[in-house]
Amino acid sequence: MKIGSVKNLIFDLGGVIIDLHVEKTKKAFASLGGKSIADVQELLARSPVFSEYEKGLLSDREFRNSVRNLLQTDASDAEIDVAWNAMLGDIPYDRIELLKRLRDDYQLFLLSNTNNIHLVCFNEIIKSTCGSLSLNPYFDKAYYSHLIKMRKPDMEIYNLVLSENNLLPHETLFLDDNVSNLEGAAQTGIQTFHVRYPEMIFSLFHESKI
């Protein structure tokens, strides 16, 4: 199951380990704001709120208020959280089993652009999947952007993972569904793999789904 000289694996979370449905959040936001999905798409692309929240520069309260202002809605905190979390899908148990097997041969790390509202939600998802309180036990270390005040694809976040764990870039493989994140990692010398759909991780390691 080893891949050449690779000794370390860095996994993205959304679209790799957890199913991601961004369109569901866009649709939910459109409903809250009485807008079209195209309008919401433009607002999301234009606003710095979401990247700032992922870098831990906004509190949950500030994020929700920013979303209210952006959508011009008086939606409650709970309604905003439900809409924001709508993009988070399942964490199939076979992916957890794969991570457990991979730890026999590799050091495993999680590197996710995320935020506190999502972290609370996907911790509940993993609890319902296999009883764990978080994904942390399945990795040597988990890095969440809002907790370390950095986000992909900035090079500093990849260098942090490398330096803190004494990893050699050419012995490290980063798996992500976002090409720009892969390009950022590649600038540090890290090997990369584009996960176009989650099941690709099984074929990469010559594994069959359970």
198 prior amide bond cis, ω within 30: no
Q: Map out the domains of the chain as residue ranges.
A: 8-19+90-204, 22-85
For 22-85, which CATH class? mainly alpha
* Poorest-pLDDT segment among 2-11, 98-107, 170-179: 2-11
Tokens 């939910």 belong to 28
Structure confidence at residue 209 (pLDDT): 46
Calculate the CA 202 to chain-centre distance.
18
Longest CA–CA span in the chain (Å) reads 54
Backbone conformation region of residue 140, classed left if phi is above 0, alpha if psi is from -120 to 50, else beta: alpha
How do residues 106-158 score in pLDDT, each as one tens digit? 999 999 999 999 999 999 999 999 999 999 999 999 999 999 999 999 999 99
Q: What is the pTM of this model?
A: 0.94
State the pLDDT confidence band at 207, using cuts at 50, 70 and 90: low
CB 146 within 8 Å of CB 116: yes
pLDDT greater than 80 at residue 172? yes
State the pLDDT confidence band at 2, using cuts at 50, 70 and 90: low
What Rg, from alpha-carbon coordinates, does the chain have? 18
State the pLDDT confidence band at 4, using cuts at 50, 70 and 90: confident
Domain 8-19+90-204 sits in which CATH superfamily? HAD superfamily/HAD-like (3.40.50.1000)
Residue 149 in tokens: 């005040």
